[in-house]
Amino acid sequence: MSTVVLTAVTEGEGRMVEGPRRFRALTLNCWSVSDPLDERMAIIRRGLLEADSDVVGLQEIVVRSDGLDQGSMLFDDSGYFWVFGPAFRWDDGGTKLAHDADGNGFGNLIASRWPIVHSQVQPLPGVPGGEPRSALGALIETPAGIVPVVTTHLDWEFDHGCVRERQVCTVVTFARTLARTADFPPVVMGDFNAHPDSTEMRFLRGLTSIDGASTYFQDAWEVAGSGGPGHTWDNRNRFAAYAYEPDRRIDYILVGPPDGLGRGRVENARLILDQPVGDTFASDHFGVVADLRL
């Protein structure tokens, strides 16, 4: 059953007036092709389908020329539409290629219950020799109108805050441009590799400026999280504990401010895929799911 809930009342001479709809968004870093791959993909697929989301943003997705395609592993025969957007590609000899070249790819994926009528990749600023990052944007044609969605994956290094600041500025411009032809505030989600108190996340939450520019997105967990710190990198996950990094919240669902009809209001948010099956977690990250008013 779709999580878009349509309610209606009769008004006047039988005219139907639709009430609030709910739009469920989910984000997860899929940890590339790390072992145990098949077991993890089965856990993720089952979790994604059980969550019954309307849009899913995934990071660290790999598509290879040998036939491995994580999008197909997760969404074949699911009824979802999906699009893959590489941050970079490489040939079979291991030479790194541009994101729009032919070859193996590493990047982001958007899956949707509704048709995806437009998608594009936006490369992000980085450092020379660093691993390229990108944002993937899509326009989704829902029964209530066009929803603009962006998923992204930022630099991970702790001392790359200045890089992530440039990256979030690019993501904001990209999301706002995508939303110009849409009917709904932009939904931006992904692995930002940044603590909520970092400059880059404070910028996105409207709490500081960068280079004289400012913006505002609702942080779904901050607005309507189910309680607790919402850590998505957590040392109780054995796949995260190996890195000896502190627990923190680094995966987000962000939504532009609600419009005059309340579209974009965050109704609730919770962690997902945060429990192991046996001793196997879905990823080294936990996911986030949020219900928004459509």
Preceding amide of 36 cis, omega within 30: yes
Q: Residues 226-262, buried b or exposed e (16+ Cβ, 10 A)?
A: eeeebbbbbeebebbeeeeeeebbbbbbbbbebeeee
> Does residue 101 belong to any structural domain of this protein?
yes
User: pLDDT 10s per residue in the chain (294 long)?
Assistant: 233 322 222 233 333 335 458 999 999 999 999 999 999 999 999 999 999 999 999 999 999 999 999 999 999 999 999 999 999 998 888 888 877 778 899 999 999 999 999 999 999 999 998 999 999 999 999 999 999 999 999 999 999 999 999 999 999 999 999 999 999 999 999 999 999 999 999 999 999 999 999 999 999 999 999 989 999 999 999 999 999 999 999 999 999 999 988 999 999 999 999 999 999 999 999 999 999 998
For the chain, how many structural domains are there in total?
A: 1
pLDDT for res 8: 25
Q: With contact defined as beta carbons under 8 Å apart, do 135 and 121 qualify? A: yes
> Does residue 7 belong to any structural domain of this protein?
no
pLDDT for res 61: 98
> Does residue 166 belong to any structural domain of this protein?
yes
> Does residue 194 belong to any structural domain of this protein?
yes
Determine the 3-state secondary structure of 62 from DSSP. Answer: strand
Domain range for 94: 24-293
Distances (CA, A) of 61 to 84, 198, 214: 8, 26, 31
Task: Find the angle CA(201)-CA(205)-CA(208) to the nearest 5 degrees.
Answer: 80
**Global pTM value:** 0.92
Distances (CA, A) of 64 to 89, 124, 215: 9, 22, 37
Q: What is the CATH number of the domain that holds 90?
A: 3.60.10.10
pLDDT for res 20: 56
> Does residue 258 belong to any structural domain of this protein?
yes
> Does residue 61 belong to any structural domain of this protein?
yes
> Does residue 15 belong to any structural domain of this protein?
no
User: How many Å is the Cα radius of gyration of the chain?
Assistant: 19
> Does residue 8 belong to any structural domain of this protein?
no
Determine the 3-state secondary structure of 266 from DSSP. Answer: strand
pLDDT for res 100: 79
